[in-house]
């Protein structure tokens, strides 16, 4: 069985030695979250808001551990001022963003934040890379993780809604 | 009510290998006034993030004691982080809130705690193992003991007088504060 794209991401987390993963529960990230939860190397930290995860990443780095954040595009908006912590201190950070408000989105309330997510991340000092297809995940996430942790950089990977699939909306 | 400088100074006396994360504003000045130390991660911004930075650090270094020292405004902005800490149950983490029920940096406007919002009860509701409110300086020895040996997560709400004290300004360059902290932690 071919490995799925969340498995490819988790393999890079293991390869670069990520030890803490912060997240708010998310459908698009559900498999990756489950993989992190059962990985004995990883401490998974469920957050009340994505903003908390920025502090978590900084604290982990102070303690000598690499950390990653998983969030939806809406969560990026919750982090904006806290991202200044990364930039002020040069903390490495890898953020995996599942996109909402684009391809096939059923909920117009997701569109305003989804439409500006990449631009907001760039304004906050992130390098951003978009992934449109499952076969590109391995290469882009691998490069992103390496850049973050070898260069103390903030890197965000945007996983497009076309890759994840639109949220299933029944009834 | 407590004199903030005296309380923090006595709380951190003979601190050993304690890792300290003070929140922006007066908390950072109080910790600096108690004596500069490379294992202080001074915050000058990131309001609401103090307790979470301390959580990331406590999870990364379960062999060390970690204390977050936010002011009440900072703690209110990151109130959800108490719930997140409650889920993870770090045994080595203590949160000491310096609660003067005021926003000191912006003109001493009353905070939610002035209206009776109570961190001790919030922390207990968030599954902190211990929480208390300290109002008398005679209690500082017990607080200090909690920092060094208490089973966390612990929250100590220190009721301090709403007074202006002279600013004591530590390092402000974030990269320098981070690198100094990491270097000291790696040798200690």
Please report the ipTM that was assigned to this predicted complex. Answer: 0.97
In 3D, which of A57, A63, A51, A6 has the Cα closest to residue A32? Answer: A6
Give the domain CATH number at B73. 3.40.50.970
Q: Per mean pLDDT, which range of A97-106, A139-148, B173-182 is the poorest?
A: A97-106
Structure token pair of residue B4: 């903030």
A163, two tokens: 């890759």
Does residue B178 sit at the A interface (CB-CB below 8 Å)?
Answer: yes
Residue B51 confidence (pLDDT): 98
Q: Tokens representing B12?
A: 């951190």
- What count of CB pairs under 8 Å joins A to B? 120
Alpha helices in chain A (DSSP H): 5-16, 30-38, 50-62, 73-77, 83-89, 111-123, 137-151, 161-164
Band the pLDDT of A165: cuts 50, 70, 90. Answer: confident
Give the pLDDT confidence score for residue B188 in this predicted structure. 67
Domain A5-162 has CATH 3.30.479.30: no
Nearest CA to CA, how far is B150 from chain A (Å)?
21
What is the Cα–Cα distance from B7 to B124, expressed in whole angstroms? 23
Interatomic CA distance for residues B37 and A85, integer angstroms: 20
For residue B165, what are the domain limits? 4-187
Are B92 and B64 within 8 A, CB to CB? yes
pLDDT in tens, B24-37: 999 999 999 999 99
Chain B nearest C-alpha distance from A61 (Å):
8
Please tell me the predicted confidence (pLDDT) of residue B88. 98
Report which of residues A18 and A161 the model is more confident about: A18
The domain limits of chain A are 5-162
DSSP state for residue A3 in the 8-state scheme: P
Give how many domains chain B has, as a whole number: 1
Closest Cα of chain B to A7: distance in Å?
24
Average pLDDT of chain A is 94
Residues of chain B with C-beta less than 8 angstroms from the C-beta of A59: 21, 52-60
* Residue B186 in contact with partner chain A when CB distance is under 8 A: yes
- CA torsion through residues A75, A78, A82, A84, sign: positive
Quote the pLDDT of residue A171. 52
Say if the Cβ atoms of A52 and B80 lie within 8 Å.
yes
Return the residue matching tokens 């201190």: A89
Contact of B51 with chain A, judged by CB distance below 8 Å, is answered with yes
DSSP letter, residue B86: H
pLDDT in tens, chain B (188 residues): 999 999 999 999 999 999 999 999 999 999 999 999 999 999 999 999 999 999 999 999 999 999 999 999 999 999 999 999 999 999 999 999 999 999 998 999 999 999 999 999 999 999 999 999 999 999 999 999 999 999 999 999 999 999 989 999 999 999 999 999 999 999 86
| Residues B70, B78 contacting (CB under 8 angstroms) | yes
In chain A, which residue's Cα lies nearest the Cα of B54? A59
Q: What is the pLDDT of residues A26-49, one digit of tens each?
A: 999 999 999 999 999 999 999 999
- Is B50 within 8 Å of A55 when comparing Cβ atoms? yes
pLDDT of residue A103: 80
């Amino acid at each position: 069985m071919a490995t799925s794209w969340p498995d490819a991401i988790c393999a890079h987390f293991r390869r670069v030695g990520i030890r803490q993963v912060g997240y708010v529960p998310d459908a698009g990230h559900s498999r990756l979250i489950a993989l992190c939860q059962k990985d004995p190397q990883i401490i998974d930290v469920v957050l009340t808001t994505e903003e908390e995860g920025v502090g978590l990443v900084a604290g982990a780095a102070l303690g000598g551990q690499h950390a990653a954040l998983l969030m939806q595009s809406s969560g990026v908006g919750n982090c904006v001022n806290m991202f200044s912590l990364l930039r002020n201190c040069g903390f490495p950070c890898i953020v995996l963003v599942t996109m909402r408000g684009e391809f096939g989105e059923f909920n117009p309330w997701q569109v305003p934040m989804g439409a500006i997510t990449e631009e907001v991340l760039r304004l906050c000092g992130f390098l951003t890379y978009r992934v449109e297809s499952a076969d590109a995940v391995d290469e882009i996430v691998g490069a992103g993780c390496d850049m973050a942790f070898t260069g103390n950089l903030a890197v965000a990977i945007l996983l497009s809604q076309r890759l994840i699939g639109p949220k299933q909306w029944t009834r | 009510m407590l004199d903030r400088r005296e309380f923090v100074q006595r709380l951190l006396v003979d601190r050993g290998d304690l890792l300290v994360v003070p929140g922006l504003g007066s908390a950072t000045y109080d910790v600096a006034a108690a004596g500069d130390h490379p294992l202080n991660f001074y915050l000058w911004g990131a309001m609401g993030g103090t307790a979470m930075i301390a959580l990331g650090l406590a999870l990364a270094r379960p062999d060390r004691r970690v204390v977050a020292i936010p002011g009440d405004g900072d703690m209110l902005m990151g109130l959800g982080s108490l719930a997140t800490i409650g889920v993870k149950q770090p045994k080595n983490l203590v949160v000491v809130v310096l609660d003067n029920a005021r926003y000191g940096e912006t003109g001493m406007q009353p905070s939610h705690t002035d209206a009776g919002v109570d961190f001790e009860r919030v922390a207990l509701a968030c599954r902190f193992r211990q929480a208390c409110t300290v109002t008398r300086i005679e209690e500082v020895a017990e607080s200090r003991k909690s920092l060094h040996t208490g089973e966390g997560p612990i929250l100590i709400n220190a009721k301090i007088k709403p007074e202006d004290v002279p600013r004591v300004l530590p390092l402000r360059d974030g990269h320098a504060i981070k690198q100094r902290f990491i270097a000291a932690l790696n040798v200690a």
